[in-house]
Each structure stands twice: as structure tokens, then as C-alpha cells.
Structure 1
Amino acid sequence: IEKTTGQKYLWNSSQFTSISKEIINAMYHEKDGITWLGGPEGLFSYDSNIKKNYKSSYNVLIRKVTIGNDSIIFYGTFCNASSVVSNVQTENFKSKIKYKYNTLSFEFAAQFYEYEQDVRYSYFLKGYDNNWSNWATSSKKEYTNLDEGLYCFMVKAKNVYGNESQTAMYEFTILPPWYRTILAYIAYVVLFVLALYIGISLNSRRLRALNLRLEKIIRARTAEIRKQRDEIETQRNTVTKQKEHIEEIHKEVTDSINYAKRIQEAVLPVSTAARSILGEHFILFKPKDIVSGDFYWATRVNEWLIVTVADCTGHGVPGAFMSMLGISFLNEIVRKQEVTQANRVLNELRKEVINALQQKGKTGEQKDGMDISMLVVNTATNECQWAGANNPLYIVSSTQSAVGSRQSAVSIGTEDCGLKTEDCGLIEIKGDKMPIAIYERMDEFTNHEIQLQKSDTIYLMSDGYEDQFGGPHNKKFKSKQLKELLLSNCTQPMSEQKEILEKAINEWIGTGEQIDDITILGLKV
């Protein structure tokens, strides 16, 4: 402890730094200012009467710079222009080293001779290192595989008293390899231009020779080509006439089909007025071709609302002919004869189709006909009759209790699809396994009687939706997925349900092709 000005004292431990790592077991202080310190490593004497500057400056010197294994390019001494020894590196002493000698070793030493073994060094190679190195007693550093560029090696020392020296520096330049020099790049450009010139010259000579051969071939074939041209022009005129004739026929056929479409639409309840008897509903109608083999039909007889969705044999023009027959027969049976019992309508319709197509049930006979779903609703009491030929009926309720009561009321042929949520249920009533046509089984169609509730939703459909191929594995959409789609959106407005169904089937088809006519009619009670 040293007394400073005034009554202040300063703790100074610099003089004990050299023994700070030793263990002191005994200490004796004499009156003359000498203190004795004893430990396992020996006896130490400290004389407080001797004053010493522990922060005196000193230098660190770069003693040697070596390239490769043994080529020394610097011996530790700089000289100025007058050949006088200097600590400053002049331009003459800034080495320019070839790229192949890009491994350098630096040796350095501090001009401090007390406890030399405890002097530590820190170095930094500007242009290569990011930070100064940690303090270490090693007085040598090697750098290998340096890239071309300007570098400055810097080193500093710290003595046993923690006092740092001045920084010593050595600048040098690693030259680029010969293949990355300016002359090399110029040579590359010259060689490229020369190679390009030679290549163009050789190619031009080859092209001239080729042109001569081609001219001979062209002259030899010109006469033949002229002859062939005349023949081709004659054939072209013939083909053009045939093409125009085919286009005319195609236009006539297309115009006829489009006219047939207008006729078909005329007999379908397309207009708002014609569909007003259905109340809240939607109709998803997607013909595969211009005209459709599917059709939907609705009428009202007294308090009975009669709704039908049918799928005729085939699609396009053949299916459209069958649909026209079906609509015509339904108008005769329901509107004129006022037959309003669902199964009786189908029985009468089957007789008319068999008579019109002169079906006898013979082997090899054309078995044209239709699958149909026939719904008859009493608009006053919500009593419902339904009969089906192959096609089913789906009923969706907004309450489980309504589902249960309806299940007990539905006659044979009903089946709960199993798709139930907490608030919804779906009932499927399957149609009889026989078409509206001559068939091996000619039983009367079953008449299902159901008591509907307010806000129940009824779906009639053809098989085009569920049989459509598509999706990631090009498989059928299937009825299970259709039921899930109907059930999950049954609470939506009818117009939105149509949009959801149309979007789902379009995404399912994707870039594929629609394989059949698609019709779904939804009706809210």
C-alpha cells in the first residue's frame, strides 16, 4: 500500500506479479523495509525502499519472416533511404511474394528481459484474421495457403506486469498465380479470338463446299419438284373442297344439335316461372354433350307437387331422344290423366316406353330405357310418396328426432347412411332394382310413404355425379363422398349448396373429361 497525496492510499500489486502464482506460507517484515516471503518454491525478498517503474514502455520486434521451409525474406531490421536502421517499414522492404510461396512463418520477441518466459504475445494478420489472437507465450506464428492480396502482420507483447508493448508491423503482398494475372487474361482473350476466327474460317469453308453440293442437288430436283407442285396443287384443291364439304356437314349437324338443345330446354322447367312451383330449391344440370340424356321435370296437380329426375340410356343425341319421350309420356300420364301416386306413374311410364320402343324381351334386342326418381309431395300436409327405378332418394333433416321418426315411418327399402353429426342426419331410400324398360323382372314399383317435416331437404339425382372419375387417383367420386358433401352443407342456402356441389365436381374432374350427364335436384320443404 502506497501513500499518495493527502490522506489517500493506493493498492499497488505490480511488484508481486512475478510471484502471484506461488504459495506463501510465511512472511517476516524487518524494520529497514525489507519483507521476507517463504513458500514451497523458495524464499523471496522484497525491499520497499527501492522504487521501480513497472509501466515503462518497451518494444516488440519481428525477428524473422520465412517463406516455405527455410527461405528467410526478413531478418528483423528495416533501413530507410539513407541505409540507416529504422523501425518503419519502407516500400523497398514491403515484400512481393510469388503465389507458390504463400506459406509464411513469423518469429518475434519482446525487448523486455525480466521473466522472459512469462511474456505473452497477441498477433493479427490484417487481410486474413478477423480478430486479434488470444494471449500466448508462443513467439512464432505460421500462415498457410494465403490467397493473393495485400497483408499486414501485427504483433504486440504483454510482460509479467501486464504492461503492453508497442505494436510491430510487417506488410507484404501475395502475388496472384500466373493464370490469374493480367497478362494471362489478355492471353485468354487472344486465344479465344484466335480460336473463334479459326472456327469461323473452317466453318465458312465447309459451308461453301456444302452450298456447292446443295446447288447441284437443288438443280437436279427442281424439275421434279415443279412437277410434284402441280400435282400437290391439284390434290390441295380436292382436299380443300372436301374440307369445306365436311365443315358444312359439321355445321349442319351442330346447328341441328343446338336446335335440339333449344327444344329440350323448352320442355324442361328452365324458366323462373316454370320452377316457381318448386319453392326453395336448386338444380345442378351438367350435360356431358350439347344435349343431355338426363332430364328433370316438375308439375303441380291440385295440392300435389310432382318432381322427377331421370337418367336415360346413353347421353348426347340418343339420350336426348329418350328424354323427350320420357317428358312427353309424363305430361300425358300426370297432367292429362292426373295420375299422382308415385309408383303408378312409374308403372304407366314403363308401359309407354316399352310400347313406343316396341320392346319384346327377345335376346339381342336393344334395351333402351331410363332410371328415374319420382317424388310426389302433398303441399298442404307435407305427406310424401316416392318411387324409384334404380335411382335413390336422400332426405336430410336438421334434427335427430325428426330422423328417428322418419326412419320408423319409411317403408321397406330405406337405409340410414350412417353419416350423422351432432345436429344432422341423412336417410337414403333405395329404388327398385329395375329400369323403366323391358327387363327380366317386371314387378310393380314400390310406393314409399313418408311424413316430411318443415325445413327437411330432399335430393333427387342421376348416377352421373357419384360415377364421375377424377381426384388424385382417378377414381369414382362414389355415393359415400356425395352423402358427406350433402350432409356437411345441408344448412346452407340452396343456391350456395348448388355452388358447393358444382365446385366440388369441377375440382374432382380437374383436367379430365366428364363421362356422363350430371343432374342433382335439391328441394327444401
Structure 2
Amino acid sequence: MPDRLLDSAVGFGGTQEEYNVAEDHQGNLWINFGKETAVLRRQAAGSYRVDRATLARIADTPPYDLHLDPDGVVWLAMGETITRYDPARAVQSPAVYPAIVRRVIAGEDSVLFGGALPAGTERQAVLRYAQNTLRFQYAATSFVNPAKTRYRSMLEGFDEHWSAWSEETKRDYTNLPPGRYRFRAQAKNIYGQKSTEAAYTFTILPPWYRTWWAYGIYTVLAALILFTADRVQRRRLLERARERVERERQAHELEQARRLQLAMLPQTVPAMPGAELAASMLPATEVGGDFYDFEYQPGGGDGMDARDGTLNIVIGDGTGHGAEAGVVVAATKGILSALPFDGDLSRVLERSNRAMRRLHFRKLYMALAIARLNGHVLELSGAGMPPALIHRAAAGTVERVVLNGLPLGGPEGFSYRTMRVVLAPGDTVLLMSDGFPELFDPRGEMLGYERATAIFGEVAGKPPEEIIGHCLRAAVQWTEGAPQHDDMTFLALRVRDTAGK
């Protein structure tokens, strides 16, 4: 059974037939238990010290037989080889020997250093950032079985400790960050003797974008950016302040224009013995393009006949919104105020069209409808307005009177037409701008003239104020409360019945 103490000292292997133990004249034991040959050197106290160094050169081929001569010569049989060891002629390995850095390679094949340095000196190198992938090759000057020499290495500034001992003679490092480094290598020969260290000191420079002058440029650029940003921000603030002042000025002017426009609308509704009237304008902006007007000339009667007087009605829809639309409205009212309303209404539109063209408005037009109620006869003439809706009280139906014609400001010489309608007691007339039938719901569907007619028919027999209120509520319901995009104007006229209701 193998002895645990000897097993830890020299190790067991092979078969017991291969084991050999021999004692020389000095009391030393030369032993081999199939794994390696070692010498147990006798000490003065009678103990033994394990000596592997004496036969370290042949330690990788343990003998299967050994013989000791009386003069101390040892014979070792190893396969077909016989080795003679004479202690009197033994060559001692040098106690101190150096390790050397043989070569430093950057990248694939760029040699930065090749050769050896004098003892006690180190290489001091400065490398570009592009040379941060390195291979170090090293060796030792111990020539006692150099294939069995083992090495360890470390890179100060990168590695935390030495590598394990191995027979590897190179070490690779990739993508080293900028900084100062010191590569160290050390050897250990077969006798366990360690060499002095070899060292290679080098510095990897940072890339150009991390150099001091690059940071200086960054600082200057940052200062320029901050300065430019400050100037831009100041300019924006000044521009916003100017825009705010301009908006306030425009808002003030539009408010004044809105008040002026509202002032041009009739402030009261005339009291007529044979009919009742109501009107409303809801602009989409501060100054709308719609307007309405009416004039009542009393007669000498007390019922719904020619003697009750004449009612002239105007409803218009100018191009666009805002200040331009307000100008068109003001110009139209001025033209109509200067023209007499006697005779055929189509003549009034033709003269108004000629006057509008003389103002040389560019792409500004006025759609207009004029009506005249004289007794039971209603005369209508239109210039591009939606049809007039007439509710017949006796039949409960709604008629449409188409008001065809080009808007004012269009080609000169256009012939307008006058339509005459006879109204009965209880009949109701609704004039409107296109802002109501052309309303869109949130899904993009237009209200349309069919729905507008149906909405009017729901309350056609009621007083004019209720009719207009119902239309406005229907508009809000259709748009689901969204802001309107066009002006809406309504003018409702209802003929009283014979009882004066």
C-alpha cells in the first residue's frame, strides 16, 4: 500500500515492479515509484529533504531502473537510454538570471520593439491611440531545459495580479484605454529558480478628440453655441414681444371693426301690422363677412295689404373673414345706401355689381339676396345666395326659391332675375347664408340643404325668434360644439294670420 508521506513527496505511478529505492554512501535515498525520480537527502537530525532539482533535467522521463556505484555515480535506465549522473561533475544552475522582453507588436504586424535591453533598464515608449492592441513576447536566459521554463506576467495599470505560471511566452491585450502602463514578465526554470523581472513601460495617448487642445476647441465651441443660443433666444423673445404687441394691436383694431360692423346692423326690428321679423348673425371671427339690413316704409292701412307699407330686406355673405370681409361688407352697405330700391330688384343688383367692380377689389366678392314685401307679394332677387325657404302654413310644406346669380364684383353685364311669390297668412320665409347648410360635423360630413330644410320645417310655424334659435341649436348639435369655420346669418319673416297673430 503506497505511503501517504512518500506519495506527497515524489508521487506514485506505474506498477510496483517498476519501483526502485537505493541508498548511496552518504545515506541519501534515490527513489522512483513510477512517476518521477527524486533524492531524499539525509539531514543531520535523521530526517530527509526532498531534492527534485538534481534530476530535474530528466524529470519528464522517469527511469524504470537505477544503480548506484560506490563512488556516488548514479546510473538511470530510461527506455533505450542510459543516463550517468556524477555528483562530482554536476553543473550548478546560476542562482540569478534575467527575463527579457523580446518583442512588442502593435496590431497585426507593427513591431514597436525588438531585441533586449541592458540589465536594469526599461523601455519608455509613447504610443498613439490607434496602437492600443499589443502583443508582448518574452523569454529567459536560463538554458537548462528551456522548454520547461515557465513564465508569468502582468500589466500594471490594467491587470490586478500576476498571471498563473505557464509555458506561454506571449501575452495579448486589446483596446487598451489611454494611460500609462508597465508590462512585467518573470521566468522560473526547472529548478524552481525565479529570474529577475523584465519590464516595458509605455504610455498610450488619448485619441485626438480627447486631447487637451480638442477639449479647448470643445470649450470654445460650447461658448459660441451658448452665446449664439442666448442671442437667438433674445431675438425670439423680442420677436415674441413684437408679435404679442402686434396681435394686441390687431385684436384692438378687429374689436373696433367688429363694433363698427355691429353698429351698421339694424339695432331694432320694425313693428309691422301684417308681419313679424327676426334676424341674427353669428360671425366665425371678430369681423365676419355676413351682414343683413332691412328698411320698413309704413303705409296707410291696418292689415296685410299694400297699404300696410313696404319692407325691404338685404342679406349678404362676403368673401372670407376678418378685415378684408369687413371692408367688403362696408363697401356693399355704402353702395346699397346710395341706390334707390324702387322698380325691379334685379336692376338694383346690376347697378350694385357695376359699382363693386369700380372698387377694384381683387378676389373679393359679395353674395347677396334682396327681398321686398309689399302686401302679400314677396319679391326676391339673388346673387349667389342659398335658396329662400318658404313654409306654407295651409299645406304644411316647405318650398325653395332658388336665388341664382353671380356674386357682386363678378363679370359686368350679368343679368339677374326677380322672382315674385304670393304669401298667405301664417306663411314663413327663411333667408340664410351658406354658413349653416355647409356646416361639417367632426367626421367631415356636411349638414347640407336637405337637413337645413328639414330643421326649418320642424319649427316653421313658430315665431321668427324661435325659428332662428332652433337653427342655432341644431348647428351646435351637428358640430358637437366644435368652433365654426364660417359666418352664419339668419333672417326669418312670418306673415300674421287674419287675427293678427
TM-score by length of 1: 0.47
Q: Which has the higher helix share?
A: 1
Name the larger-Rg structure. Answer: 2
TM-score by length of 2: 0.49
